Structure 1
């Protein structure tokens, strides 16, 4: 299997991943592209980035989790959605140290973790975008349909909505759980989609590309844009100035999310088009480099989102300051003042 030494880890299809299975042997010549430059690029830059992103995500999301536990509790729809969003980010970030080691050397964690880690990225991302979309839709209900939504926005609605998103995210990630496995290319152990005929894996790869772009990017984008257009119209028509800060905050979070993820999804779409209609013998590295860069740029959102909650949400700032005051004496006066001014503030206005 030395012929695969220079093959791209993330494009590893040899036409017969199970050499002992007669049904999977192909008679036609399989064209392999050498991707050694792409692999070296990934090995040089990705591990440090993954470790840094993991630590920042752990600290940022851990801080949000700590404040929810100490000051907010799960007594509102907003906090339930926020907690699930934090869990999504942590699930996603938990896979990064494994990928860091993998890019640096090889897969050393075994078959079980290969399947588990391979699905964590998909589950974490899918649930994250869906919870973000759900939070935006929930703000739309609270602002545009405040009276009618007051009856429906109850705890049962929050739990059922959250459970539905987790089920959808896991279902969308089944292919990663089933197809990811450990393979030996003769020089190192790889954790890739394997075990089936090349054409079969390519079809599922295409399904994943289109699912990613349309179901977990384009549809949420349309929903978010619609919700914010209606929210903006409502605010302008009723002069609900007290809602402006909440709308601005969530808008910044959503806008940043799509700024981070749009380049990656555009590359995903281009790879799908190339796989479907392009020249299969084209060994250009342009999309491979673009995928590395845009995907890692998208990973940063797991670090960015908690920062918004901490520094843009006024009530969250108060909680953060009170948390710091327990360890920094000079902040105790400010914390005491904030406590008296915000004691009667409803948790429903968490983003104000």
Structure 2
């Protein structure tokens, strides 16, 4: 688990020793790690960043949702997965304004919203990476095993696969629903993992770190790399005129996924190793700053991923131009010309659409 404010987490037990509350178990003294510089950095940078990311995600995902509703419906498995990806990203996105206010001052929204926002944050984040992996695997089936997969890639398969992803994401986030609560800190109210002894919470934190690294990073990365390597090989052995473009798009997808997602998970692994084997009184801020930066790159990628994945397909580009042409009349002529010529000069295939 990626604790949303890990630097808060390291301080919380010190405050608990001074201000115990009902249901809390306190035993022994805990060394205090001052994280004032890290907290000041977060209060300065994160509220503005989360606000910008909120509006970008709301606009981009809303646009994809509009195109699916107006032109695509849920007629294909790919559209079902895209819709679920948009939903998961919106669930995550709607938690951002709360965290922006939280980093700026304190948690002012009460105990119920602390659990709800915390769980939505993790459920949306976890399900996004799994749906991106599922979309990649579905494209692999459609392009490498097109004939054999034609019968299995029905709507039932799409809805069932999506349901499995949601169940996994919710189960992986149960501990956050249970442990997240409001507590009194040195600078106000905090919404963090609390209510149990430090050793117990640290063990669950480590479980979350390793769960994040292996289940939500290594497994998806392996599947994405394998699928796109097989897709690239498939494309290279075809005679499609646009195969170079398709290979370039695949490279962009894999490269962007790797660059945005890997640094964050490397930091997660380093934090897990430090907590497992490092000096317990080490108060270095290096990993805290690294977590801020790398985590936000990962957030940004998943907030814009539906737009990124959707507009790589020609039909969605056409739908977008069509949508614009209805709003901006001068675009109707420009939009109409390529659409008429494309019907007479090219034949469509799953790869060229890709």
TM over 0.5: yes
Give structure 2 stretches of 5+ with no counterpart.
Answer: 1-5
Q: Report SS of the residue matched to 1:212.
A: helix
Counterpart of 1:26 in structure 2 is 27
**Cα distance change, pair 121–342 in 1 and its aligned pair in 2 (3 A):** farther
RMSD (Å) for aligned C-alpha atoms = 2.5
1:279-337: CA deviation from partner (whole Å, max 9, x where unpaired): 00011000011111111121111343244346543222211111111221101223344
* Aligned positions of 1:250-261 closer than 5 A: 251-261=251-261
Native 8 Å contact 2:7 2:288 kept in 1: no
Counterpart residue number, 2:3: none
1:162 aligns with 2:150: no
Q: Distance in 1 between matches of 2:182 and 2:250?
A: 41
Q: 1:350 to 1:13 in 2, by over 3 A?
A: farther
SS at match of 2:159: helix
Query: Does structure 1 conserve the Cα–Cα contact (< 8 Å) formed by 2:236 and 2:243?
Result: no
Q: How many pairs align?
A: 345
Contact 2:12–2:185 under 8 Å retained in 1: no
TM-score by length of 2: 0.90
- Deviation track 1:159-209 (CA, whole Å, cap 9, x = no partner) reads 100000000001001111110000012540100000001000000000000
Partner of 1:280, secondary structure, is: coil
1:253 Cα deviation (Å)? Answer: 3.1
Shift of the alpha carbon at 1:76? 0.3
Alpha carbons of 1:248 and 1:86: their partners in 2 closer, same or farther (altered >3 Å)?
farther
Cα distance in 2 for partners of 1:35, 1:180 equals 21
Go from structure 1 to structure 2 and tell me whether the alpha carbon gap of 1:300 and 1:110 turns closer, same or farther (over 3 Å shift): same
Using the size of structure 1 for normalisation, the TM-score is 0.90
1:325-344 paired onto structure 2 within 5 Å: 325-337=325-337
What residue in structure 2 maps to residue 3 of structure 1? none
Q: Distance in 2 between matches of 1:224 and 1:153?
A: 19
Q: Deviations over 1:36-91 (max 9, x none)?
A: 00000000111000000000000011101101111111100111111111111111
Contact 1:93 1:302 in 2 (8 A): no
